[in-house]
Amino acid sequence: MNYKLKIQYDGTNYSGWQIQNNAVTVQQIITDAIKTITKYNINLIGSGRTDTGVHALGQVANYIFEEKLDIYRFKHSLNCILPDDISVILMEEISEEFNARFDAKKRSYIYLFSKIKTPFINKYSYFLNDKFDIDYLNKISKSFLGKNNFTSFARKKTETKNKICNIYDIHWREFRDKIFFYIEADRFLHGMVRTIIGTLINAHKNKWNHEQVNKIFENEDRSFAGEAVPAKGLFLYKVKY
């Protein structure tokens, strides 16, 4: 049986999604919780990595298990074991061929800015005391649409050799004292979203044009892009299949 999970988590206390040595990760916590219930080791496959401190509203994962589970009871038991900052909000049986990582067609992230300093969303937003020109940000963000080499926007030590990504949608929206950034692509590189946002903030401050952004792509060098914004405002929003 192949079981698909939709997961939400507060990434504040975790070193990202993926299991790694000498670090507490979301994937490890969920894998251990499933083993506690079933007494079996399982291979939990996530739709993709999230970096240290990044949150998720719609992470997707799956695992194969030999026995048929009572999904309602199992999901309830799993959430009882999981810490308060991780929750399985949906569980379903799916075709045996489904793979949460390789079958994903699009992934989207949102980033939250706060225009006022407030303790109530400080863990989940970036306070930036600047005046935002949303129209300008939406215009300059179009430079990122389409298929491009994102070497300049990925961490230098990333293990991924293929740096080509296809961005389908990227935009900014303002709602009262908050600003939302949205981006959707076929795939993302390590640190890519936060670096794109930092670069766009630089563009906003210095009133760059499209040619100046395009030069960053052409240089294929991380040092030409902006400083990555803090992880705390970033959420994996949705994975589409």
Q: Is 51 a catalytic residue?
A: yes
pLDDT at 159 over 80: no
pLDDT at 129: 82
Cβ distance 167 to 144 under 8 Å?
yes
2-94 is classed CATH 3.30.460.20: no
Q: 10, 51, 103, 130: which one is catalytic?
A: 51
pLDDT at 128: 87
pLDDT at 145 over 80: yes
**Average pLDDT over every residue of 5-30:** 96
Look up residue 227 and give its amino acid: E
CATH architecture assignment, domain 106-240: 2-Layer Sandwich (3.30)
**Residues in Cβ contact with 207 at an 8 Å cutoff, skipping those fewer than 6 apart:** 136
CB atoms within 10 A of CB 210: 12
Start and end residues for every CATH 3.30.70.660 domain found in the chain: 106-240
pLDDT at 130: 82
pLDDT at 65: 94
**Average pLDDT over every residue of 5-15:** 97
**Average pLDDT over every residue of 4-23:** 96
Start and end residues for every CATH 3.30.70.580 domain found in the chain: 2-94
Q: Which of 38, 105, 37 is nearest to 66 (CA)?
A: 38
Give the rounded distance of the alpha carbon of 93 from its chain centre. Answer: 24
